[in-house]
Amino acid sequence: MIRPPRIPAMLVALAPLLATVACSGTTDPGANVRVILTASSQASGAPALSASDEDRDGAEVLRRLDAANVTFSSLMARNTDGELVDLGIDLPHTVDVIGLLKGDEVTLPAGALPAGDYDQLVVVMTELELVFVNGGEIAVTPPGGGWTSIVRVTPFTVVEGEELTIALNLRLGRAFREASGSFRFFPDFEGHHRDD
Question: pLDDT digits over 17-57, tens only?
Answer: 333 333 333 334 444 899 999 998 654 333 343 345 555 77
List of residues 6+ apart from 139 with CB closer than 8 A:
127, 128, 129, 130
pLDDT at 28: 44
DSSP three-state, residue 40: strand
Predicted TM-score (pTM) of the model is 0.76
How distant, in Å, are the alpha carbons of 5, 6, 74, 105, 179 from that of 2?
Answer: 9, 12, 59, 69, 84
Q: Any idea where the domains of the chain sit in the sequence? A: 30-194
Is 70 exceeded by the pLDDT of residue 71?
Answer: yes
pLDDT at 29: 45
